[in-house]
Amino acid sequence: MTAVIADFPQHPSTSLAIFLARESLEICTRTLNTALQAIPSHGVVDLLVNGNPPLAASLAKLINLPSDVQRSCKIRVWNIPLGDKANAWNTYIHQIWESESLVFFIDGYVRLRPDSLRSMASALASRPSALGGTGVPTIGRSAERLRREMLTYGGFHGNLCCVRGSVIAEMRKRNIRIPLGLYRVDSLMGAILTFGLNPLDNAWEPSRIVVVETSSWDLDMKSPWRWDDWVGKGKQLERQFRGEMENAAVKFLFTVLKHQPEGLPADVRALVEGWKAVDQVGFQRFVLSHPLPALAYRRHCRQLPDWSRKDEAELLVQMKASDHGRG
């Protein structure tokens, strides 16, 4: 494992949550190594493995291996049995967060650039009114377009984003939870922040999220010649339509009905069915616009998964600063 960089003086306590599910141990190791290069020395790194107990166990064993490298941050490995990213977010917010003043979130296949977190922390420190921050993509066919859009209109990218601890404390206090099964988790979190956690009284204000052009990451590109990647692309297209359906339901809930985020339905099925019940015209217009939205609705929003393990989270290992360098 590699060493951490210096502290972020603007933020007395910092944590980094990494969402892991289907990644290989090799990819997880690369992600962790780049994270340790970017996190401040006083930081906490939480590896949130959802729906993959063998991967969680392998990471716990890896973290426990003796090392000659001195690391001063704390590393924790969590096994979250339910394989659902929305539930992993809820678990972090309501069970794991320990009052850090700034929390970064990244996906498990993301390789942070060394100064990415520092840049975002500095940008947020210069904008006291902002509730969170986001990096911008630089890798991929659509990265340039998306980066321009985010810098112009705002946004919140799930590959690399951050939220102030005061926001997480408010979400805990009001029991704000992301609907289980949601695909566009980052879109919903972005909407909650952009409304200032209060769609009833606040207007949509993109400046509540700082878009930081100098904060970015690397990732492995998909090959255009591999059959598995073509199959994955088809599934991704269906998920995109599913995400657009979720976004339409959230938009109606927040902008038309002016619901507060603590009133969000418990799962994505209830979210979409609730939209359908009160806005049948808008719902039908969306579903009939293309075959894939109808398919996404039938496959993902009418089924009833088993959410019984949603409150389970097991801390497998906690590596404190004093435990490092035992080799």
pLDDT in tens, the chain (327 residues): 554 455 686 777 999 999 999 999 999 999 999 999 999 888 999 999 999 999 999 999 998 876 544 457 899 999 999 999 999 999 999 999 999 999 999 999 999 999 999 999 999 999 999 999 999 999 888 899 999 999 999 999 999 999 999 999 999 999 999 999 999 999 999 999 999 999 999 999 999 999 999 999 999 866 554 545 544 555 677 778 888 889 999 999 999 999 999 999 999 999 999 999 999 999 988 888 777 777 777 776 667 788 999 999 999 998 875 554 443
**Confidence (pLDDT) at 327:** 36
pLDDT score for 67: 59
pLDDT at position 70 is 47
Q: Is there a contact between 321 and 71 (Cβ–Cβ < 8 Å)?
A: yes
Q: Of 188, 180, 185, which is closest to residue 307 (Cα–Cα)? A: 180
The 8-class DSSP code of residue 261 comes to G
Q: Where are the alpha helices (DSSP H) in 108-155?
A: 116-125, 143-153
Rounded to an integer, what distance in angstroms lies between the CA atom of residue 15 and that of residue 4?
13
- What are the contacts of 91-97 at 24+ separation with CB within 8 A? 91/48, 91/311, 91/313, 92/17, 92/46, 92/48, 93/168, 93/171, 93/172, 93/177, 94/171, 94/172, 94/175, 94/177, 95/313, 96/17, 96/46, 96/48, 96/313, 97/15, 97/165, 97/168, 97/172
- pLDDT of 64 reads 84
CA–CA dist 327, 324 (Å, integer): 8
Pull the structure tokens for residue 90: 């809820």
Res 234: pLDDT: 53
pLDDT confidence of residue 8: 80
